[in-house]
Structure 1
């Protein structure tokens, strides 16, 4: 009867759950480790997965249509200031981007990079005359103000965003003070009526005033005549009454 014990022991060892676990070095467990939700440092599979996700996200963002909308052509008087503006649609934060304002191909009017202005890259012609509104950059708007403009500032200005590969063009026209005054006189002459029409209108107003004055004078005369007539009538009544009293 004693030889049956080893058989019972083998049966219990086979039915024990400990006997079903694979050793730590089991290749079955090693193949499952990369599928663990916890990513280990240095795991090549997890790094490749994150990189592909970032690439897909960047591709989806770059697929969005991006347009740069310029402001209307700007006209400024010599010696004054001019404000040029371009905005992105949809808006993109430009605070960390490079923003280049150029006139022509190589003439740099204003340069913004590394979150600050770069006057060293600016042309001497525009030194200390340009101001970029940093508060508009987070809204995807680039606003440049040029002070003390001159006739040499005439031309088309370009905004170039190298990271986004976007270009925007707007135009500035600078006129002299004489030209501005001539324009104002021309506008006033086109909006006001001709001299002949102005004379006719003044004559009509004078005729109306004369008619009104004549009517008022006639009314005054009529009122005076009525008052006098009433006075004479009252005097006649009094005299007739006095005559009656004397006769009686």
Structure 2
């Protein structure tokens, strides 16, 4: 089985329904994983996506915040939706394809502005969430699985526009990178994007605060596609569709793609 998968923090699926439809029409991935849907599940505009061939959806949602969904041309069966760190947030959904491949779609907490859990509760929640993911993967090491989503951490020096300036900024601090690495190691996850594109700067997010995001290019690679070692070698064709960041009323994230020949 061969399929192309994309992951995209859409920053409101209802507000940006047209952008999702455009991506599905122009790029036609077999599976699209969305984060930050900001919608109860029953209000996700699924009818329009079904009309484009995406007849299957599994999702977790909440009004105005968080939310994850998997849209698929192929049948997908929900197998889990964990509330890691018991935050009460809709941040995870997992589905199994017909061939047994499991796809985990995550929206890891952003962590607020200050990288200090003693003064910033949100930063503590982020670290606790990653720790809970680590412990879960230690207890039940995944096989034939793909992990995607907005993990809200740019781990490598070339995943940010300026490592020295960013090292004390939430999303690139050493403690976050360490927590992400521990979680990745616990699951044996392979960073598919960097397997395919090992060299050079890569970004998937550019702040709304930049008046000219494209020219300034102060990006971060916050969005990831990982796979377990037993199928990571079947992945290829990784790319980040930067052009989407320039669409009208865009998300501040760009979608990330990979193809799997299983």
Give the TM-score normalised by structure 2. 0.20
Give the TM-score normalised by structure 1. 0.20
Which protein shows a greater Rg? 1
Instruction: Determine which structure has the larger helix proportion and give its number.
Output: 1
Bigger relative contact order (CA 8 A; separation at least 6): 2
